A and B are shown apart, each in its own frame.
Chain A
Amino acid sequence: MPILSDQDRKTLETRFKKDLKRDVTLTLHTVRSIGGLVLPGRECQTCPQTEELLTEMTEMSSHITLEIKDFYTEAAETQERGIDRIPCITLQAEGDEPSNLLFYGIPAGFEILTLIEDIVAASRGVSPLQLTTRKALRKLETEVHIQVFVTPG
């Protein structure tokens, strides 16, 4: 049974059709199962649902593609990005560097809206932040690491 309802799908299709400009690749860092089984110690409760949800989102727009990376056997990118937990979603718009955003955990409930806005912002290449904020952040001399804790709501 699909995670997204028919109404959700219609809403998403309309939004993506209206607002997506460039292609966006979502990468899901997860654990691959073998016939539904994973090695002991590598269990990830929400990884399967996260993959299902993202797969359904790719069906809403030809601008969105999904890559699956195994956290344990395809570790080059995860190490490079400092990804230390799964599921983790990253995104990259066509022609851009990978986004500096990591999305840890399933984007369920209202959190899917956060991911949708991130996809739209990446695709359009336009930050939703105010100009004054962007100007100040461009002048940062040191790296800043922001973690926002959320729940599905």
Chain B
Amino acid sequence: MVHAEVVEAQEFPHLSQLHRVQAVPKTIINGVVEVLGAVPEATLLERVLSAVGQEDLLEGHAVSRPEEAATGPTSAVGS
């Protein structure tokens, strides 16, 4: 089961500070895994599965390495 939250970073500064959000979009998986920028769907899936130790479900996926992600953070918070 996946629960998702969209959080408007400037409205909830305490939460943004907790997760060191300096640019958006920034994705936090299970409170610990950080994904910066708008990454391809397959990359996000890889990070989700690795966060829960189920990388075996990735079979058959062509996944780019996180450092090769197409786009980084697109805008700074508070700018």
* A, B co-complexed: yes
A101 CA / B24 CA spacing, docked (Å):
19
Tell me whether A143 and B57 are in contact in the complex, defined as CB-CB below 8 angstroms, given that A149-B26, A151-B10, A151-B77 are known contacts. no
A152 part of interface (Cβ distance < 8 Å) = yes
**Number of interchain pairs (Cβ within 8 Å):** 133
List B contacts of A111 (CB < 8 A).
6, 8
Partner of B61, one of A85, A132, A145: A132
Q: Would you call B4 and A146 a contact (CB within 8 A)?
A: yes
Q: How far is the CB of B23 from chain A (nearest CB, A)?
A: 9
Say yes or no: B27 contacts A146, CB within 8 Å. yes
Report which of B21, B54, B58 forms a contact with A140, defined as CB distance below 8 A.
B54
Whether a CB of chain B sits under 8 angstroms from the CB of A35 is no
B65 within 8 A of partner (CB): no
Question: Beyond the given A105-B11, A133-B45, A136-B57, could you list 15 further A-B residue pairs with CB under 8 A, ordered by the A residue number?
Answer: A101-B6, A105-B12, A106-B11, A107-B6, A108-B8, A111-B8, A130-B41, A143-B1, A145-B31, A147-B4, A149-B7, A149-B26, A149-B27, A150-B8, A152-B8
| A-B contacts, 13 listed (Cβ < 8 Å) | A46-B8, A100-B1, A102-B3, A107-B8, A132-B60, A136-B45, A139-B57, A145-B5, A149-B7, A149-B21, A149-B26, A151-B24, A151-B75
A-B pairs with the 6 shortest C-beta distances?
Answer: A105-B8, A105-B11, A136-B57, A149-B9, A147-B28, A149-B21
